[in-house]
Structure 1
């Protein structure tokens, strides 16, 4: 039995501008997306039986056909024309429904893993075309660079080089529906987009582009997000923001020790998820 063990990294959004609602119901976006070294672990084993199984260790994450990773695997097995099946085991380390892209990253990692296991040799561009049919963030994790993402998130270009950053992640355990956030978003007709810098040398340079239009929906519904942002700044973060549609808040710190200290101060006495990670 051929087995591949892979890591699926999370992401944070340094920028999330919502430009307009499109006639097809999707939203035109401008995002800056950064991978971090908080990863789900995925084991893919090809089997001689045609059955495809996905199991996950986290409550609330579906097994089987309702899992986005299952859908990714099914597409690749069908493309291969093989009668083989597969057993996929996902160990979730990335908080679920938290704005960190865990499900999208799992799907992207499964696409890349099957491409290798089945010797399909599909180029990343083709995998990204398949990925966007599963979810708007999936192509980013195949792209494997800090990216400017436009369109619904599928038009990707490489951002200028950014320094490695220590990031504190706090998740208050609130599950936020991305679909609900976008449905609830009120857009003004005219939107003037800020000009993005060409160079990023410091944490301050990165924090200068911080903006997340989705905070206007998520924070009024879950004020704890604003509380965590304030605490991040109070305990030394250069900048803090909600990632994606929430509810995760992240802050950039000048070193690992400061980030760890802030994490302890903010999360002590709560059941909040806290992790110090580094950008990839």
Structure 2
């Protein structure tokens, strides 16, 4: 079975406090986008994991896709599978690519072996793999809180709008991003801000990681400014960076403007 494990963007990201467990509480809107990896799982005589596309650093045995399989195998004694990941979504880009891959592995295994796990059960498994993994189980716009793994429905639709994602070939680790942030309560209620016209978001909907990272990496504010210059209704860095996105009335062709970088554009659903 094959799945297209899509990425997400953060529309607004407030870092409100540090938790006793070392993580941070946040407020953010997660919104799925079409830039996707491809995951394939087939039954096999022995377990294997392989990847192609973008090179994935680290021990393959510690890949989140493998951990997702091991998580369900422990509870359901799954037979071996051969798993292949075509890695397309950039790594360290703030789009949850690795988390999405793991979540889609859980869903593929659930379907392949007819485990009949509910959405809630799959989300609980996903939470054990990473803070934003659970979002990709339902994979629809959500207002996210706590570690980014608690969800509330939000009446926000950008269907038909165009989006441009610009990855400046710059890997930013989560630890590096958080090192430049001081958690604090905000006077802006993000849910209320997102009900304003999208053209007003630039004044109200902020990503708290931008302050520190924009000073450290001037290319990031440059890309954001360029997106506004060519007609973006709203532009922001997503997650802990380094991808910067622009939302447009229609899908634009900006490949030539951002030719040194990795660019994806498409229509939001």
Aligned residues: 268
Equivalent position of 2:226 in the other structure: 231
- Tell me which stretches of 4 or more aligned residues in structure 1 moved more than 3 Å: 60-63, 197-203, 205-209
Distance 1:162 1:92, change over 3 A: same
Equivalent position of 1:95 in the other structure: 90
Distance 1:66 1:125, change over 3 A: same
Of 271, 274, 280, which residue of structure 1 is paired with 2:263? Answer: 274
Shift, 1:6, TM fit? 0.6
**8 A Cα contact 2:6 2:32, kept in partner:** yes
Shift, 1:180, TM fit? 2.0
TM-score, normalised with respect to structure 2:
0.92
**8 A Cα contact 1:34 1:146, kept in partner:** yes
Cα displacement string for residues 227-265 of structure 1 (whole angstroms, at most 9, x for unaligned residues): 000111111111110010111000011112xx21x3422
Q: 2:18 and 2:191 mapped to 1: Cα distance? A: 22
Equivalent position of 1:45 in the other structure: 42
Q: 1:171 and 1:153 mapped to 2: Cα distance? A: 22
- 2:256 is the alignment partner of 1:264: yes
Q: 2:204 and 2:86 mapped to 1: Cα distance? A: 33
Distance 1:186 1:201, change over 3 A: closer
Q: 1:16 and 1:5 mapped to 2: Cα distance? A: 32
Runs of 5+ consecutive residues of structure 2 not aligned to the other structure: none
Q: CA RMSD in A?
A: 2.0
- 2:247 is the alignment partner of 1:252: yes
Of 95, 106, 110, which residue of structure 1 is paired with 2:105? Answer: 110
Shift, 1:205, TM fit? 6.2
**8 A Cα contact 1:54 1:63, kept in partner:** no
Equivalent position of 2:74 in the other structure: 78
**8 A Cα contact 2:9 2:30, kept in partner:** yes
Distance 1:214 1:39, change over 3 A: same
- 2:163 is the alignment partner of 1:167: yes
Distance 1:245 1:195, change over 3 A: closer
177-186 or 20-29, which deviates more: 177-186
